Amino acid sequence: MSDTPITIDDGHNDPERILVVTAHPDDVDFGAAGSVATWTARGIEVSYCIATDGDAGGSDHSITRAEMAAIRRDEQLAAARVVGVTDVTFLGFPDGRVTPSLELRAAISRVIRSVRPDRVVAQSPERNWTRIYASHPDHLATGEAAACAVYPDARNPFAFPELLSEGLEPHTVPELWVMATERINRVVDATDVYHRKLEALRSHTSQVGEGEHLDELLQGWMSGTAAAAGLPEGRLAEAFHVVHTA
C-alpha cells in the first residue's frame, strides 16, 4: 500500500459505461469482479475486453490447446453473467506471448471506440513486487497497451486510420482505473456483493478446480484493502489507482 490518501468510491461520480481490459479469462474476476458487480447493480453498463483466450492455462494434458481456449471462453462468459456483464470481446492474442505491440494497441483502441466507455479499468504495466502473481508478463503487456490505447491512441484520429475507415470515430476516455498496483488511491467496498465475486471466480473450474481455497484467499486480500482505506472491520474492498486522462 502507498502513502497516498485513499478515497472510497461512493457512486456519486458514476459513469454510464465502463470497459475492463485484461490479459486472460479470470483476471477481471480476481482483480475487480466485486467492483464490477457493484457497478452493474448501480445500473452502469460494463463490458469486458480479454486479450487472450487463455489457451496456455490449466494443467490438463489430455485436451488440445484449442479445446482449452473454448473452455476458458465459456468460463469467462459464465463468470461475467454472475456479475451482470454480457458484452465480452476476446481479442485472440497468444496466451503467454502477449507484447504491448501496435497490433494489440489497435485492437484495444477498436474496442474503446466501439464501446465508448467513460472509464477503462486495466491491469498495471508496472511489476508488483509485493504480489508477483499479479505481474504475469501478459498482464504487464496488456496493461501497457491499454494505457496507450486510452492515451493517445483511441482519441487520436490519425492513430490507426483503419479504424476510421471502419466507421469508428475517436473517443476520449476520461479516466483510467489501474488494478493490481501498489499505487492505490481509490477503493470500492464490495462487501455486499462478495458472494458474486466468489461465484464468478468459481466459474473458472479449469483454473481453480472446486475453488475451496478462494474464500480464505480473497477474504485476506480484501479485508486488508478495506482496513487500509479506513473501512470498518468486516468490510471487504478492491483497490485501484485512478488516473484522470481527459
Phi and psi (nearest 5°) for 122?
-145, 165
Q: Where are the domains of the chain?
A: 7-244
| Mean residue pLDDT across the chain | 95
- Strands 175-179, 119-123: pairing is parallel
Give the DSSP H or E segment for 188. Answer: strand 186-189
pLDDT digits (tens, 9 = 90+) for 72-131: 999 999 999 999 999 999 999 999 999 999 999 999 999 999 999 999 999 999 998 888
Query: Is the N-terminal amide bond of 152 cis, ω within 30° of 0?
Result: yes
Question: Rounded CA gap, 63 and 86, in Å?
Answer: 27
Contact 14, 57 (CB under 8 A): no
Mean pLDDT, residues 16-28 = 98
Query: What CATH code is assigned to 7-244?
Result: 3.40.50.10320
Predicted confidence at residue 128, as pLDDT, reads 86
* Element at 88 (helix H, strand E): strand 87-93
- Encode pLDDT of 37-76 as tens digits: 999 999 999 999 999 999 998 778 889 999 999 999 999 9
How confident is the model over 164-196, as pLDDT tens digits? 999 999 999 999 999 999 899 999 999 999 999
